């Protein structure tokens, strides 16, 4: 009984996110055809903008925020004559410290700020300004001077976080664009600073008394000593990440995580809001040309196989032509029929489980490269042209038929991926594939089980040809039955697909006047007991052997044992309640609905074994 693998990869095509992937790239405004007032070229302004944004990224308190805002504006607007900055204290008080005063709660400046939009005008009311700033900001201003009111706001909360008053020359289009970007970064800096500051004790209310005012000012800003190193790292990281392109942002986060956790490799899995799929674009220090996505769609599986060939080193080691490999993979996929279970998705899942074993168990330390390649290709081809019936129903061995189909594909023009092999290696490859594919017959596995156990007890000998052959057979069977190592939801769904095939065969046998075996008879099969028997006598011993040879595979055995316990609970429950009907598949439907009603699975997005059921006709293209 083959099983479908619950792990999957997807290379999801999308255009490159940036020509300078992997670098820190802040949002750059588009160049405007209008000339800038400043004598400096627009490219220099863009460099200045990035410098200004980097300075905002280092903000850790109110004082550094004011300094960063002042310096940023002076860099972007070199004609600036004066700058006054008000920052939010409490719920609504906007305070400036040069000199200490509060923005009037009513008036033109407050009205502009509450509109959350930047305003350029010919001057501000003198009564709303401290004497220090009246000469450069008070109306009326000469034609070559302008007053800017720049609200820094949290647009989600419709709240003003800071107000900046600037006296400068009239703004150019480039100035407008650069200020737009600066305002967004300043808003983020204010929000994250206030979030951190909120966790500290609130300052006492500001008193009109000069002495109390002075003491209150000392408490308004959280001291740098109050911040731990982690606070600083988080604040700076958040600032640096803002407005990066998607790939560069992920790369920055991954580099930070690898440094903090001292990991060899990290990746981010992002959840898509529309269909709750997981996407990954950056792994370690590499930006993938095509996203990986989980679960995988049927039409993308051949791309995944090509990626696995490349990652396992087969393409370079054996000089496999990429076009030949692509044709071979497509022909193998086309060679599968569409029974409920033994279809291309099963072959793909088995192949991917082989890839997982290679990556996680260090198979290259136990087997030769040519043996690993033979195992992987055999996983792809092991059920070619499967009709949904087993050996007992067909006179000829279906395993030999699967192998013959694989040879037929290799002999098809432009599909021989072993064309550059020597004559000796070519013959050995075919012999290996034949033996490995024939090993998928569980009767064969039972015949060699004692030899496998003896090998596990005595220890694997890398110099023994017999041990190599036995290990290849064990690995092939482990891959073929890998569905039993998945979560309960997947295991139950796979059981439904398998028994659909079994019952179809049983129906054919009845139509021919024969009596099918109990497991093939939809009116007699009791699926929980059949599954328990299969797991106890076949699956669990296989993964127990695998864990004895590879301690890293222990989790596989434990998962199979846990699924066996789940089937036991289901069987006990229906022994008490009785079966819902004479059709065993109805039992599976009712069991699933019952557990789903109890919240055992969460949402059901028709995700099968890590592979997403297509809405375009199952097999895809």
Q: Give the catalytic positions in this structure.
A: 342
CA 289 to chain centroid: 14
Distance CA 96, CA 118 (A): 19
276 is an annotated ligand-binding site residue: no
Strands 270-271 and 278-283: antiparallel
382 is an annotated ligand-binding site residue: yes
584 to 386, 496, 499: CA distances (angstroms): 24, 9, 9
CB 356 within 8 A of CB 375: no
CB 445 within 8 A of CB 542: yes
155 is an annotated ligand-binding site residue: no
Pick from 152, 103, 156: which is nearest to 130 by CA?
103
219 is an annotated ligand-binding site residue: no
CB 448 within 8 A of CB 475: no
Distance CA 283, CA 266 (A): 6
CB 483 within 8 A of CB 341: no
Distance CA 498, CA 342 (A): 8
CB 268 within 8 A of CB 255: no
Distance CA 71, CA 82 (A): 11
Cα atoms in the Cβ-side hemisphere of radius 13 Å centred on 220? 21
Cα atoms in the Cβ-side hemisphere of radius 13 Å centred on 593? 7
Can you list the alpha helix ranges (DSSP code H) found in 439-526?
Answer: 442-458, 465-480, 488-511
Can you list the alpha helix ranges (DSSP code H) found in 335-368?
Answer: 344-361
Pick from 410, 583, 553: which is nearest to 474 by CA?
553
- Can you give the C-alpha Rg of the chain in angstroms? 34
CB 267 within 8 A of CB 284: yes
174 is an annotated ligand-binding site residue: no
531 is an annotated ligand-binding site residue: yes
CB 609 within 8 A of CB 494: yes
345 is an annotated ligand-binding site residue: yes
Cβ-based neighbour number of residue 175 at 10 Å: 23
Binding residues for AMP: 342-346, 383, 480, 531
Binding residues for Zn(2+): 346, 382-383, 480
Binding residues: 342-346, 382-383, 480, 531
């Amino acid at each position: 009984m083959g099983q479908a693998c619950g792990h999957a990869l997807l290379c999801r095509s999308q255009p490159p996110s940036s020509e300078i992937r992997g670098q820190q790239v802040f949002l750059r405004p588009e160049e405007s055809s209008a000339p800038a007032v400043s004598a400096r070229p627009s490219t220099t302004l863009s460099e200045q903008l990035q410098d200004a944004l980097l300075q905002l990224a280092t903000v850790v308190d109110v004082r550094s925020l004011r300094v960063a805002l002042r310096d940023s504006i002076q860099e972007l607007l070199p004609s600036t004559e004066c700058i006054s900055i008000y920052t939010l204290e409490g719920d609504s008080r906007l305070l400036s410290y040069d000199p200490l005063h509060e923005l009037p709660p009513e008036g033109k400046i407050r009205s502009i700020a509450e509109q959350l939009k930047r305003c350029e005008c010919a001057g501000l009311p003198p009564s709303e300004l401290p004497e220090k700033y009246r000469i450069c900001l008070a109306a009326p201003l000469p034609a070559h001077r302008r007053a800017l009111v720049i609200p820094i706001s949290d647009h989600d909360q419709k709240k003003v976080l800071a107000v900046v008053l600037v006296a400068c020359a009239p703004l150019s289009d480039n100035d407008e664009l650069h200020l737009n970007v600066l305002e967004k970064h300043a808003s983020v800096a204010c929000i994250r600073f206030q979030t951190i500051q909120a966790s500290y004790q609130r300052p006492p209310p500001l008193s009109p008394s000069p002495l109390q005012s002075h003491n209150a000012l000392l408490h308004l800003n959280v001291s740098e000593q109050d911040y731990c190193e982690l606070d600083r790292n988080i604040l700076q990281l958040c600032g640096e990440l803002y407005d990066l392109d998607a790939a560069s942002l992920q790369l920055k986060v991954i580099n930070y995580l690898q440094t903090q956790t001292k990991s060899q490799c990290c990746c981010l899995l992002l959840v898509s809001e529309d269909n709750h799929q997981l996407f990954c674009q950056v792994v370690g220090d590499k930006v993938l040309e095509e996203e990986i996505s989980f679960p995988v769609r049927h039409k993308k599986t051949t791309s995944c196989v090509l990626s696995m060939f490349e990652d396992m080193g087969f393409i370079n080691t054996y000089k496999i032509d990429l076009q030949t490999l692509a044709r071979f993979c497509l022909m193998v996929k086309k060679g599968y029929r569409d029974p409920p279970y033994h279809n291309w998705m099963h072959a793909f899942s088995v192949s991917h489980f082989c890839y997982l074993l290679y990556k996680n168990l260090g198979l290259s330390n136990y087997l030769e490269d040519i043996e690993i390649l033979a195992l992987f290709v055999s996983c792809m081809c092991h059920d070619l042209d499967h009709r949904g019936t087993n050996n007992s129903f067909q006179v000829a061995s279906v395993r030999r038929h699967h192998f013959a189909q694989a040879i037929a594909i290799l002999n098809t023009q432009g599909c021989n991926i072993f064309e550059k092999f020597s004559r000796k290696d070519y013959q050995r490859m075919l012999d290996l594939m034949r033996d490995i594919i024939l090993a998928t017959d569980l009767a064969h596995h039972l015949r060699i089980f004692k030899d496998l156990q003896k090998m596990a007890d005595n220890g694997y000998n890398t110099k023994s040809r017999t041990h190599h052959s036995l290990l290849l057979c064990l690995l092939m069977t482990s891959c073929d039955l890998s569905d039993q190592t998945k979560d309960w939801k997947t295991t139950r769904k796979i059981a439904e697909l398998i028994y659909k095939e079994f019952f179809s065969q049983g129906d054919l046998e009845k139509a021919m006047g024969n009596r099918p075996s109990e497991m093939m008879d939809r009116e007699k099969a009791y699926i929980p007991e059949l599954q328990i028997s299969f797991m106890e006598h076949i699956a669990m011993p296989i993964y127990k052997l695998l864990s004895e040879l590879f301690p890293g595979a222990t989790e596989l055995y434990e998962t199979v044992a846990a699924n066996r316990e789940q089937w036991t609970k289901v069987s006990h429950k229906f022994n008490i309640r009785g079966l819902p009907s004479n059709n065993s598949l109805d039992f599976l439907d009712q069991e699933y609905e019952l557990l789903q009603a109890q919240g055992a699975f969460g949402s059901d997005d028709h995700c099968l074994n890590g592979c997403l059921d297509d809405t375009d006709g199952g097999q895809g293209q």
